Structure 1
């Protein structure tokens, strides 16, 4: 059975309404007819239809008022205005308020059917685009900026994991946004109205860490002059984020394991067993399996925490995200410092893409802040770049300000097919018998470009018209394939 699209016909002239309903007999539409604006508003509030056929001249209100209500309340119904008044101003007002089409009475069955078909197809396309932007190609997400495939994977895991109570274990280099990830999980979860409490296990002395987590009672140790709640109590009903979890003392790891298993704990120096509902999220910039293997992290605790793993990609693995992040940081810092900066010139953009960013997003933040504080102007140019980025200026070609999208791993040009090119280095086979799979030829070209640039990956990437991060990622994939 084919699902029918729901159509709300708002028309006070009953004979016309019956005519329109007859036009649509046998079509995949479920038509509901009302004669007044009040009735239309009631249906829109309870069960919004797919399409509203809206007469502008109603007995109790102006049809444009209903159209404005649909727009203001963001009701997901497409609107087609029908009226005997063919005034251009009326059409403009209707379109400005969100109507998708405009029909002047009288109209025939063919006109109505074609209009409904076009409007529904347009609405479906808009929904597909909205789904793509919201769920597949998100450029911003809960504090993150970036649309790379690596980050889209992170967004999807957060969406899936947020509603659960399962523990999340976040890994990644320093500066990749592990805390932002933890906060995103909390904000997307049913616990969002409760607190998220963060503790850095590597920044707090191990003698104080137990008290920081569980709290203490008066007299528990020197300096404990009053009772004090720990993070476990403060995070009740919410999320406890334990950053740099692999830095935690082994003795405390045992107590943490018991806390996670039972949901109960005792304050330092106390005897009362306290019960609390907490969602655990932890993070580390180390390889937890190495820490387990070398005896610095309890294996049973690792498996208790490592329920939903999320790996935060390094900035060099995030394709063009570095430019999007840099532009957002520039706008924010320029506003803070009262500077007129509006963007980066082509050379600076090329350097940003070519640089490997060992300090990840945190390093990018520092670089952009340095530029804004120490310089002035509307456009950041190459003279403003701090070390070590200024050392790349001679090795990159300026990026075009606007260019059509092309696959990130495909060179802009292979150059002329010469005898040297075809036989001297094997890049361009001279005979069809020598042709190889495209991925093999791509690898040969990239590796040869790196050799020509004396091992300088950013310079090779610039000549090939791709980002250095693309080359780093591909080389990592090649190594993994060889190890497999």
Structure 2
């Protein structure tokens, strides 16, 4: 046992004596003190007599109660203790439902000793951090601060903030859905930052930006010589995220053969590098995201159903910007001031007419498009006031009434486009002093905006591969 880890009392709720004894032996060997209850009634009695358990290992099939119904009938258990559910393969859906109720994690029988102790250690750590965070003698108040780097106070985003607060302390996998540009990675970072793993690494991997033949190596790592180009041993994203969070973006782009390996990783908590026979244990939380409809991908055979249900323990949807009432103004002003600082300039607040016009635009590229619009305005104008020409709104697509809203066409013009045919000299003056890299970035971001946030469509319009755009955007994000 790690000397830094204190001896904890662990409650094992298992009616099968042989399994209970095996779990107890593993837990005692790790330096903790196991207590065994063979029924739901005995478990409640143990909790009443010894309330300072560090964690609970719960079998869902008990002689006097259904484990799920027991948790529902006693909501204070999951609120007070990290609960690890033990289940058979056939009861996987029930284990996932237990996590939605509030369980910390689940283990599929037969449970390997190393896996049990790794999850138990994370559960104990969570319990301690929750105890430190909870003030004594004072009523709890709902959080008002926005998690992570979010901007916006619309009711839609308040619901997102509430969900992040609820899921952050759990080990449950989170499946984030939403259109391109809605802030799915920002959401994943916020979940990580609000969790007990905030001190660990946050590793993001875009499954759509990596060639299929290299994706397995990127996730699980490889050994030197395992394939052409493997010139040295390499740790994959799963190991790099040990004790932290692994964010798998565009998860529906993952090829089916690799989905099988990802499912095994989720079930066992262990990885096998490409070219290696050695199994290595890792402790990571998985958060994934897609801009597709995952249920449709499952129905059409492009995404494994068992993997989807294993990942979608907690589904979380990011609303499109057009539905975030009142957030455009706050986002526009926030982005403008941020980019003004980066450019070494000063801008006055936007005029009321400019803000109103920005609010009328449909924003097919969502928050990312608005961010790019404000960045270009900050780059192309000196300030302190932005002229009306910064947003040539006569060509923008405005939002129809909510009942008649339809998706904007892919070719919809951005509100900051300039028509070169109308004033070539103005365009030349506008780009004067910009580097080639800055011009390239402006062109690429405009193409993405005009493609409604779709990188594949933007890449087709520009005559390059989608992976080229993914790499350039990741480089820009890392540099910002």
Q: TM-score by structure 1 length? A: 0.53
SS of 1:182's equivalent in the other structure is helix
2:222 is the alignment partner of 1:205:
no
Deviations 1:268-297 (A, max 9, x none): 010001111110000000000110011110
Match of 2:395 among 391, 399, 406: 391
For structure 2, the residue ranges without an aligned partner over 5 or more in a row are 1-137, 405-480
Q: Is the 8 A contact 2:222 2:275 kept in 1?
A: yes
- Alpha-carbon separation, structure 2, partners of 1:374 and 1:302: 45
State the aligned residue count: 267
Measure the CA separation in 2 of the matches of 1:146 and 1:131: 20
CA distance in 2, matches of 1:383, 1:251: 51
Larger Rg: 1
Find the residue that maps to 1:216 and give its secondary structure.
Answer: coil
Distance in 2 (CA, whole Å) between partners of 1:314 and 1:224 is 41
The yes-or-no answer on 1:353 pairing with 2:352 is: no
Per the TM alignment, residue 174 of structure 1 is displaced from its structure 2 partner at its CA by: 0.5
**Any stretches of 5+ residues in structure 1 without a counterpart?**
1-126, 397-442, 449-484
- Matched residue, 2:340: 334
Alpha-carbon offset, residue 324 of structure 1: 0.3
- Per-residue Cα deviation, 1:120-166 (whole angstroms, up to 9, x for no partner): xxxxxxx99x957x43xx5x431100000000001011101000100
Cα deviation, residue 265, structure 1: 1.6
Q: 2:321 aligns with which of 315, 322, 327?
A: 315
In structure 1, what is the equivalent of residue 368 of structure 2?
A: 362
The answer to whether 1:189 aligns with 2:179 is: no
Deviation at 1:392, TM superposition (A): 4.8
- 8 Å contact 2:147–2:194 — kept in the other structure? no
Q: Distance in 2 between matches of 1:277 and 1:304?
A: 17
Quote the Cα distance in structure 2 between the aligned partners of 1:302 and 1:175.
22
Are the aligned partners of 1:345 and 1:381 in contact in 2 as well (CA < 8 Å)? no
Q: Is the 8 A contact 1:331 1:341 kept in 2?
A: yes
Q: Specify the SS of the correspondent of 2:179.
A: coil
C-alpha distance in structure 2 between counterparts of 1:261 and 1:333, whole Å: 44
The answer as to whether partners of 2:222 and 2:233 remain within 8 angstroms in 1 is yes
The corresponding residue for 2:166 is 160
Deviation at 1:329, TM superposition (A): 0.6
Any conservation in 2 of the 1:347–1:382 contact (CA below 8 Å)?
no
8 A Cα contact 2:271 2:279, kept in partner: yes
What is the deviation of 1:340? 2.1
The alignment's C-alpha RMSD in Å is 2.4
Deviations 1:211-263 (A, max 9, x none): 00010011100111211110111111111110000000100000000010111
Q: Does 1:216 align with 2:222?
A: yes
1:214·1:267 contact (CA, 8 Å) conserved in 2? yes
Mapped to 2, the partners of 1:380 and 1:225 lie a distance apart of: 52
Runs of 4+ with >6 A deviation: none
